[in-house]
Structure 1
Amino acid sequence: MFLSLAVILVPVLLIVWFFTKTPDEPNIQQVDWKPMVASARTHAGYPVLAPKEVPEDWRPTKARYANKGDRWVGDTVSAGNRWELGFLTSENVYLAVNQSDEPARAFVASVTRSASEEGKVKAGQYTWTKMVSPDGRTRALMTKVGSSTAVIVADADYRVLADYAGMLTTS
């Protein structure tokens, strides 16, 4: 009986171990973000925010632009000229700047998880509105840039967001 149990239990334990182990370092697909910044700045019709440089240990994970009416994410259609640039920091915090000339209220609600305002902060060349999601997990900074609305989003404190905001420029 013990031999039969061992024959069944050993493969089951190996299968459980194989499917539940966590890799040491996740495989993060990085993107070449600088050409996308140049393309967005050519097509957007508003001043596009992006850093000139970021710390060397930050990993660019998302850089995309869509004209109004183009496919955005999944089956959604962009309601305006839309820009997104995201980085994974050395502390594995995802920071993204989202920008669009679509109606501000709907755009801000969609990228901030329906956050509410919490005050103001000056970072870089702009004054930003601090926002927090209803569950308190996601924080955002929002400002107007030309005819667009820009939002920086992260599951981090406002200091991290303000530091990133200070890196952003339109040139």
Structure 2
Amino acid sequence: MAGTKGTKTIRDMVLSLAVIGAVVACIYVFIPHDETATPVKRVNYDVELATAKRAAAYPVLAPKGLTEEWKPTTVRFNGAERDHWHLGFQTPGEKYVAVEQSTEKAAVFVDQVTRGAEETGKSQQIGADTWTRYEGPTYDALVRTDKGATTVITGSASFKELAQMAQALK
């Protein structure tokens, strides 16, 4: 009798797992889900932009006129410690682009926000401004220094999308 009790317990456990597996399979099959959807939350950066424009020691830039496909995802202004403006976007091609501005030492700031990108020796004219190209293992960038601040357009996006962002800055 003692031997059959152990067998029943194992058999009951296996049957219970089979039932749970069937329920999970039904949930997976019958409940709609989109594995390609990106859980990107759009942020409103109006308040932070107004604050940064009042507090920063340089003209704070943000894009105007980009299509709705450009999704603002992150915004920060650290005026107390670093005088650093950050505004991040997901591009229409689902890549990342950020606008970074600061009065920090340019070489250190560019290295930090581009994650080690290096100057290519090439420049690009966008509107009235000349931007220096940087390439790196993680991010590429367009960089310019004006009115005491360094502006960096950086991210995993192509130089074409980086230039679109630079063109939209006001």
Residue number among 65, 76, 84 corresponding to 2:77 in the alignment: 65
Structure 2 length as normaliser, TM-score? 0.78
Q: State the distance in 2 between where 1:96 and 1:150 align.
A: 10
SS at match of 1:51: coil
Query: Which structure: larger Rg?
Result: 2
Q: Which moved more, 1:112-121 or 1:45-54?
A: 45-54
Cα drift, residue 41 of structure 1: 1.0
> Which is worse superposed, 33-42 or 108-117?
33-42
Q: Which residue of 2 aligns with 1:138?
A: 139
**CA-CA distance at 1:103 after TM superposition:** 1.2
Among candidates 109, 114, 119, match of residue 111 of structure 2: 109
Q: Match for residue 6 of structure 2?
A: none
TM-score, structure 1 as length reference: 0.77
Q: Matched residue of 1:165: which SS? A: helix
Aligned residue number for residue 48 of structure 2:
36
Name the CA shift for 1:145/1:10 in 2 (closer, same or farther; >3 Å). farther
TM superposition shift of 1:163: 1.4
**Counterpart of 2:165 in 1: which secondary structure?**
helix
In terms of fraction of residues, the more helix-rich structure is 2
Q: How far 1:4 moved relative to its partner?
A: 6.4
Distance 1:5 1:162, change over 3 A: same
Question: Are 1:128 and 1:143, in contact at CA under 8 Å, matched by a contact in 2?
Answer: yes
The alpha carbon displacement at 1:60 in A equals 1.1
CA apart distance, 1:11: 3.9
Conserved 8 A contact 2:89-2:98? yes
Aligned to 2:160, the other structure's residue is in SS state helix
Query: Which residue of structure 1 lines up, in the alignment, with residue 131 of structure 2?
Result: 128
Distance in 2, matches of 1:6 and 1:129, equals: 66
Gaps of 5+ in 2: 1-9
User: Which amino acid is the alignment partner of residue 154 of structure 1?
Assistant: G
For 1:88 and 1:110, the matched residues in 2 are separated by: 20
TM-superposed CA distance for 1:140, in Å, is: 0.6
Deviations, residues 105-128 of structure 1 (Å, cap 9, x unaligned): 111111111111111111133111
Output one character per residue of 1:25-78: Cα deviation in whole Å (capped at 9) or x when no partner. Answer: 233222111232222111101011111232122211112111142xxxxxxxxx
CA contact (8 A) 2:52 2:79 kept: no
Distance 1:103 1:117, change over 3 A: same
Residue of structure 2 in register with 1:153 after alignment = 154
Between the aligned partners of 1:116 and 1:96, the Cα distance in structure 2 is 17
